[in-house]
Amino acid sequence: MVELINREEHEKLYIQLYEILKKKIESHEWKVGTQIPTEEQLCDMFKVSRATVRNAVLELVRQGYLIRQQGKGTFVKKDYVEDGIILCTFFKTLWVKDETKYKKKIVTKTVIMPIDNLSDELKIAENKHIIYTKIFWYIENNLSIIQESYIPFAVCPQLLEENLEVKSITEILEKKCGIKITQIDAHLELNPLTRELALNFSLPEKEPVILLTQKIFSGDTILLLNKFYIKGDTDSLFISFQRRT
């Protein structure tokens, strides 16, 4: 059965098409290893442009559902399950088991211009303003995590007026600015402390701490870059994944 695209919905057409095609793979309507219809056929089936089809298919390739073979076509990937079970997680700001143990203090909320490699990281021009925040997270009066966040000003100008003590940045982006978060990339590394952060933590300069970097997207737009410097002596990092039902 051909599912129809709802043109009333604000969601981008290619995201809708992506979801429809993904269902076909997950429900085995499109069997593992078989070739999927050509771009032209998909355009006809769903009455959408070639660009929409291409974006949806590319995303499925990126997510590991499909594989493109030069000169042959696009196929349902044989072992997408064995490659990695697709699981999801509830996104919480801090990657800890119990966020309620932490007390936060907003130490900085101001506006800066992109320096160093920030314009590349956020994919914005070098003359665009960025909202910069620095938040201290305490456990029992011990500074445990320092969070630095960078949000392109154009993404959510209201953020400057909001009280970050009571709401998280992601909550404000979704609820106040009506922006839907579609993807979060994260990576962890050991990072030597800069002089300023070392002073904040009362640790020696260059002492390595865990750095968790999160990049939060809506489609191709980067909404927010979070850097968490984690001392790691009071709590461990925790994240739980569940299979989607």
**Smaller CB distance to other proteins: residue 42 or 130?**
130
Q: CB 205 → other proteins: shortest distance, Å?
A: 16
The answer to whether residue 2 forms part of the interface with other proteins (CB under 8 A) is: no
Q: How many CA atoms lie within 13 A of 39 on its CB side?
A: 13
Stretch that binds other proteins, among 69-77, 90-98, 104-112, 225-233 (CB under 8 A): 104-112
Cα gap 166→169, rounded to integer Å: 10
**Smaller CB distance to other proteins: residue 48 or 122?**
122
Cα gap 113→105, rounded to integer Å: 23
φ/ψ of 129, rounded to 5, equals -75, 150
Looking only at the bridges linking them, the beta strands covering 130-139 and 242-243 are unpaired
Q: Per-residue x/- mask for other proteins, residues 180 to 209, rule CB under 8 A?
A: ----------------x-------------
Q: Which of residues 124-183 bind other proteins (CB under 8 A)?
A: 125-127, 129, 132, 134, 153, 160
**Which residues does 8 contact at the CB level (< 8 Å), separation at least 6?**
none
Q: CB 127 → other proteins: shortest distance, Å?
A: 4
The residue among 240, 241, 232, 196 whose CA lies nearest residue 212 is: 232
Contact 209, 193 (CB under 8 A): yes
Stretch that binds other proteins, among 13-21, 51-59, 120-128, 139-147 (CB under 8 A): 120-128
The answer to whether residue 117 forms part of the interface with other proteins (CB under 8 A) is: no
Cα gap 85→100, rounded to integer Å: 30
Q: Which residue in the set 109, 176, 215, 227 belongs to the binding site for other proteins (CB under 8 A)?
A: 109
The answer to whether residue 113 forms part of the interface with other proteins (CB under 8 A) is: yes
Q: Which stretches of the chain bind other proteins, using CB under 8 A? A: 107-115, 119, 125-127, 129, 132, 134, 153, 160, 196
